[in-house]
Each structure stands twice: as structure tokens, then as C-alpha cells.
Amino acid sequence: MAKQKYKQRVKQERMQISALRREARTHYNAQRFQQALDVYAHVIFLVPQDATSHKGKADAFYALERYEEACMSYEQSILLEKSYTLAHKGLGNALYALKKYKEARLAYEQVLRLDTLKRLRPCINRREYEASPTTPTKNTRQNYMKNRSASINR
């Protein structure tokens, strides 16, 4: 009897957390970023080991142009789930916004290593090129376009 009640309570808690995540995503999609941030913070309070909610919180910080806080949340998400490609990409974007180009490039390179389905490669390769601290020359641009085509076709 107690075991059945426990299972039922766990199921209800999971449903509540899923509903809160959906609510946060709805706020985010409606560009109510502060509300999304508040709901994600509540979910993280309930389930601190939830990498997805940390990433959602980071996305909300990023949308509010609070890039330092976004970096911290993306890093927390990555600590919880090392292969979370979208968290690495978000970290790269936040670092790029902070003009930390070398660190951003490292985050983007991690995305390229983890992105086995090659869904994120076109947007990452472009940002990685833009994050390069060197001034591009015509030859560098030609090499970049050549390498970009090769990486997309892999």
C-alpha cells in the first residue's frame, strides 16, 4: 500500500515538473523572458540536477542580455550533462556576446565534436569564423569557405 502511494506521488511530481517546464517554455516563446526565468528557477529548486531546466534558464538570461549569468547557467547545464550540445552552443553565443572570442571558439569547437547528426554545423562554422581574433584576408576567406563546404558535407 505504501509503495503504491509512493509511486503515485512520484508520478504526480513528475507531471507537475513537466507542466512547469512547459509553462516556462510558453513564457519564453511569448518573449516573457523574466517570467520564464522565474519558472525555470522554481523547477531548478525542485529538481536541481535537471540540465534541461538550467539550459532553459540560461536561454532566458541570454534573451535578457544578462550574458554573465547565462554563461554560469550554461556551464551548470554542461556540468550536469557533458554532451548537451545546445548548452555548449548557448555558452559559445553568450561568450561571443561578452566578446570573449577565444572561449567562444572553444565552446563552438566542442559543439562540432559533439554534433554527431551535424545539425548545428552550418551556424557554428560561421560564428566560429567571425569569432576568429585575426583579421581575415581574401585567402583566409577562401580557405574558410572551402573548409565550411567540406564540414557540411561530412
Q: How many domains does the chain have?
A: 1
Q: How far apart are CA 104 and CA 92, in angstroms?
A: 4
CATH number at residue 103: 1.25.40.10
The answer, as to whether pTM is greater than 0.75, is: no
For 29-56, the pLDDT digits (tens) are 999 999 999 999 999 999 999 999 999 9
Instruction: Categorize the per-residue pLDDT at 10 as very low, low, confident or very high, splitting at 50, 70 and 90.
Output: confident
What pLDDT sits at residue 122?
A: 61
Instruction: Categorize the per-residue pLDDT at 116 as very low, low, confident or very high, splitting at 50, 70 and 90.
Output: confident
The long-range contacts involving 48-51, CB below 8 angstroms and separated by at least 24 positions, are 49/80, 50/17, 50/80, 51/77, 51/78, 51/80, 51/81, 51/84, 51/87
The residue segments making up the domain with residue 90 are: 2-152
